[in-house]
Chains A and B, each alone.
Chain A
């Protein structure tokens, strides 16, 4: 195997010299040097060839361009079915009209079924506990929120 110094002195871009390639496969330091000079040297070192698509580059390019045209055609067809702003506005107006109409009709119908009076909370009327008492001079005191009433009547006997 040639020395590293000889390898680096003879290395040229695109070289296919067997001795140089052999050194390249075995010396990591020179491989790094060679790749920094020409990246393809790495593939040449492992026996790689120039990659050519099947049928040649021209056939490959025409295939790619054909696919691009197909994609463009699909995009234009899909675009035709997109909702235009005018259609969107018409649909929104229709939905709004139907909604408002239903709301007006429904509010009118509710007025028949459930009148305001029916919505009043069931609140019990309040009556005085003592409605009448025998003596007009008596003092009647109702203790709030307790259902307790005191009758103070001077005519009552002391030993009740």
Chain B
């Protein structure tokens, strides 16, 4: 009886060690996978999965075929494959809300802030702008790569392009945002910039000549899916 018990225990220990070794070996072996992209650029995909690669992982871009060759542990490749599948999708639709606000620094008692600007007042107060004036707002819908135009009754006009959506930062690029103003039947260019807007968050981009300027133009932007 005692011998049978000893043999049984020994067999049990050997089999468990063997199973553990198999599992560890499966997790550590490296695999190679080539991803070819239909909608997105391979170099952008490479930048996106950089943080997902393990210490043993590596990748190389093939520009001629717009492909990415990834070498990594088999289990990690599953995560990378999932991320790249979600990344290489047809251009997505977005909606951009643009509001223009004139902000001033007023001595003494500041005029009452309009209800539509109440959400901005605390943030602009940090910059010592206490008088706010709504200069118009508009919503523009479009897909990645589409152009967008905002024309406001106050004479302001914004031309831009819906850039690419970046899942890693959950942000939309608003490329070549060109703000101009119609003055004396002539369109005057004010500024041109490219912005990254995280989806669903409100951004305020203020523009003025100098930090001590008493007036600034605030461009308030929200990108939504």
Contact = CB atoms under 8 A, between A and B. Distances in A.
Contact of A107 (B17, B20, B54, B168): B20
Contact of A153 (B168, B203, B207): B207
Given A94-B5, A131-B173, A117 B16 contact: no
A70 interface: no
B209 A154 contact: yes
Interface in B177-225: 188, 190-198, 201-211, 215-217
Contacts of A112: 23, 26-27, 75
A98 B188 contact: no
A132 interface: yes
Contacts of A130: 193-195, 205
Nearest to B21: A108
A82 interface: no
| Secondary structure type dominating chain B contacts | mixed
Contacts of A126: 169
Interface in A73-118: 90, 93-94, 97-98, 100-102, 104-105, 107-109, 111-113, 115-118
B5 A101 contact: no
A127 B12 contact: no
A105 B21 CA distance: 9
A131 B194 contact: yes
B203 A149 contact: yes
23 contacts: A90-B5, A93-B9, A94-B9, A100-B16, A101-B16, A105-B16, A108-B20, A111-B23, A111-B27, A112-B26, A113-B75, A117-B52, A129-B203, A130-B194, A131-B195, A133-B191, A148-B127, A150-B216, A151-B191, A153-B207, A154-B210, A156-B191, A156-B208
Interface of A: 90, 93-94, 97-98, 100-102, 104-105, 107-109, 111-113, 115-118, 124-134, 139, 143, 146-154, 156-158, 160
Q: Closest 8 interchain pairs by CB?
A: A108-B23, A101-B16, A160-B217, A108-B20, A127-B196, A134-B192, A125-B169, A125-B168
